[in-house]
Each structure stands twice: as C-alpha cells, then as structure tokens.
Amino acid sequence: MSKDKSEVVLLEKDLQKSGDDKVIVTTSKSTENSVEAGVSQQFFKLAKKFAIDGALLPEDKQMLIEDRTVKRARLSQLRKQKNIESIMQKTLTYCADFEIGQRTDLDWFSRYIALSEEVSNPTMQDLWAKILAGELTKPGAFSFKALQVFRDMSIFDAKLLAKACSLAIKDPNKKGIRLITGAYQQPGLFNFFSKQRQQYCNLSHYGLNYADLLALSENHLIYLQESESSLISKGEILQFTYNGLPLKLTAIKANVCLQFYKFTPLGAELAHLISDKSNDDFFEHLKSKLTHYFAVHST
C-alpha cells in the first residue's frame, strides 16, 4: 500500500444500514496535523493583533523593523485609548445620579488611567468603572495601593473575591468584613465533654475552599491566619449585616468566641465593588450554627 493510501482506512459498511459502502476515517497523524494547524492559526492571529508577527512572515513580506516598531506602538496606543474610553462610558452610567462635589485628586486620576488602560475584558472594565465612580462621589474611597492590587488581579481573582463577599458578614460601618468559620464556648466544668461546645461553618461546601482562601491571601485580600473574637459575655449583643440583611446576635451563653478569616483593609476597600448577593442556603446554615450560642435575629 502506498504512503498516500496508508493515511486513510476504508471500512466496509453494511449496505442495509447505510447508503455508502465506504467510510473514510482519518488517521491520528492527519488529526494531529489539523490540530497543529489550528493552534498555529490562533497564534498567528494573536501575534498579528499585537503587531508582533513580523518575524513570522516570509522575508519578502516583512516590513522594516523600524516600521514594525512604529506600527506596534501605534496599535498599542489605540488599544489603550479604546479601553479607557470604554471605562469612561461605563463610569458615567454608575455616577450619573450622584453629585460630584469635591475636586478629584489629579495625581490619583493620572495613576488610575495608567493602571486601567490595559484592561480590555468587559467585566473587569465594569469593576474599574465602579472604582472611578466610587472615587468621584467619595474621594479617598480607593487608595492607590488598592488600585495596584486590583491591577494584578485576573477575572478569576475578581470572581473569587465576589464569592468571598457573598459569604461574608460586615460590621455596621462596613470596614470590618469577616468569613465566619465557627464558634465555640470556652471549656468549663459543665461543658468540657459536650459535643456541642464547638460548631464549624463549612465554607468549602458553599464554594470557598482552602485553595481559594490561599489565593485571596496571595492577593492581599484576606489574612490567611484564622482569627478569634474576644470572649463574648452572656447577654452581649453583636450587630452585623449579611449582604444587606441585618444580623443581630445576642449571646445566650458565657465565654463564647467567634472564629473567622478577616478581610485586609485592601480587601475591604475592593469589596465595595461587589454588589450585595446573598446565598440563602449559606445564611440559614450560618444561623443554625450560631443558635447554639446566640439568639439570632435577621429581620
């Protein structure tokens, strides 16, 4: 059999089952070639989009290196201009109903443009627009350090922050944000052997596992070390909110501690970008765990 013929296999088919008596099945070699061709085509398109495809072309079709450099710089500036104008359009929709009273810090705005003009993903552009709208309506809402952290975040990191916010509780001033992981009563003579002395809130069951917490920590959004509240006395009242819903805890036992992961100041700043979106199943789970030590009111 010749080399050309060896690249296909002819299979006899039952004429009663099919009108064709032969089916051509490509070999793995031709499949690999088609995959490679597809990958190469995608690569060439990507390189061309960023004007870095010059050396990939035949020599007789290559522009001078000087011309290619100018073309690349021009396309880069055009892309940045398109990105920042898109963000400005989105910003207007977020702050159209608010009055801008104070003058915006021009140095902050200049740095904001430099950091955001590379962003082309529509979802990330929306978040950058929210940052600017927040700063325009309340100067100082977002620090330059928060902008730098956000610039290095991917769309996956942003979604992870949104997931964490959907499971977090906030202080009334919204500066303290926590992911409750459990609660316990300090061991004493009457509860030392009680199985109810410690309660755990399983965050991973609701989509936030330890690897996710580690990623949030690497982006300086939460402290990875688990924290504890000070001892809570019987009758003491704690006020929180959960995604806009009130959460009032009144201790019914003495010497109770809450365990949690705490958002960093940068994480708390960027959490303002995330709209309230409660997880009803999680909220019920959290309240069921806390009722061992608190009278829980959420209305």
Tens digits of residue pLDDT in 205-259: 999 999 999 999 999 999 999 999 999 999 999 999 999 999 999 999 999 999 9
Rounded average pLDDT over 37-65: 75
**Angle made by CA atoms 57, 58, 61, in degrees to the nearest 5:** 85
Bridge partners (DSSP) of residue 241 are: 170, 246
The HSE-up count of residue 114 (CA atoms within 13 Å, CB side) is: 8
Reduced to 3 states (helix: H, G, I; strand: E, B; else coil), residue 112 is helix
Q: What is the pLDDT of residue 222?
A: 97
Residue 163 located in a structural domain: no
Residues 173 and 293 in one domain: yes
pLDDT band at 26 (very low <50, low <70, confident <90, very high): very low
Task: Quickly state the pLDDT bin for 188 (edges 50, 70, 90).
Answer: low
Whether residue 22 has pLDDT greater than 60: no
139 shares its domain with 259: no
Whether residue 62 is contained in a domain is answered as: no
Structure tokens at 101: 């009273």
Of 117, 121, 33, the C-alpha closest to 76 is: 117
Q: How far apart are CA 34 and CA 38, in angstroms?
A: 6
Residue 162 placed within a domain: no
Cβ-Cβ contacts under 8 Å for 220 (sequence gap 6 or more): 149, 264, 266, 267
pLDDT for residue 101 is more than 70: no
- Residue 74 gets the label, from left (phi > 0), alpha (psi -120 to 50) or beta, of alpha
Domain count, the chain: 3
Quick one: average pLDDT of 128-140? 91
- Structure token pair of residue 221: 């959004």
- At residue 165, the pLDDT reads 95
Whether residue 92 sits in one domain with residue 29: no
The one-character DSSP state at 299 is: -
Residue positions counted in the chain: 299
Query: C-alpha distances in angstroms, 152 versus 20, 66, 147, 275, 290?
Result: 57, 32, 9, 21, 37
Residue 216 confidence (pLDDT): 97
Pick from 11-15, 75-79, 154-158, 179-183: least confident: 11-15
* CA dist., res. 121 & res. 140, Å (int): 26
Asked if 186 and 292 sit in the same domain, the reply is yes
For tokens 């202080």, name the residue: 171
- Residue 266: φ, ψ to 5°: -65, -40
pTM score: 0.75
Phi-psi region of 51 (alpha: psi -120 to 50; beta: other; left: phi over 0): left
pLDDT level of residue 33 (50, 70, 90 thresholds)? low
Lowest pLDDT segment from 38-47, 173-182, 239-248:
38-47
Q: Mark whether 275 and 183 lie in a shared domain.
A: yes
Do 255 and 175 lie in a common domain? Answer: yes
- 55 versus 212: the higher-pLDDT residue is 212
* For residues 294-299, average pLDDT: 91
Q: Give domain status of residue 190, yes or no.
A: yes
The fraction of the chain above a pLDDT of 90, given in percent, is: 57
In a domain, residue 73? The reply is no
Instruction: State which amino acid sits at residue 199.
Output: Q
Same domain, 106 and 185: no
Residue 280 lies in a domain: yes
- Stretch 107-124: mean pLDDT: 94
User: Are residues 92 and 130 in contact, defined by beta-carbon separation less than 8 angstroms?
Assistant: no
Same domain, 145 and 173: no
Can you give the pLDDT at residue 2?
Answer: 46
Whether residue 210 sits in one domain with residue 101: no
The pLDDT assigned to 48 comes to 77
What are 12's strand-pairing partners?
Answer: 22
Q: Identify whether 269 is part of a domain.
A: yes
Q: In the predicted model, what is the mean pLDDT of residues 69-94?
A: 92
Query: In terms of domains, do 183 and 273 share one?
Result: yes
Q: Is residue 65 part of a domain?
A: no
Q: Which domain holds residue 228?
A: 169-297
Please check whether residues 144 and 263 belong to one and the same domain. no
149 or 172: which carries more pLDDT confidence? 149
Conformation bin of residue 94: beta by default, left when phi > 0, alpha when psi is -120 to 50:
alpha
Q: Tell me what the mean pLDDT of segment 100-128 comes to.
A: 90
**208 lies in the same domain as 89:** no
Supply the pLDDT for residue 283.
Answer: 95
Please tell me the distance from the alpha carbon of residue 54 to that of residue 166, in angstroms, as a whole number: 47
- Six-digit token string for 53: 């495809």
Mean pLDDT of all residues in the chain? 83
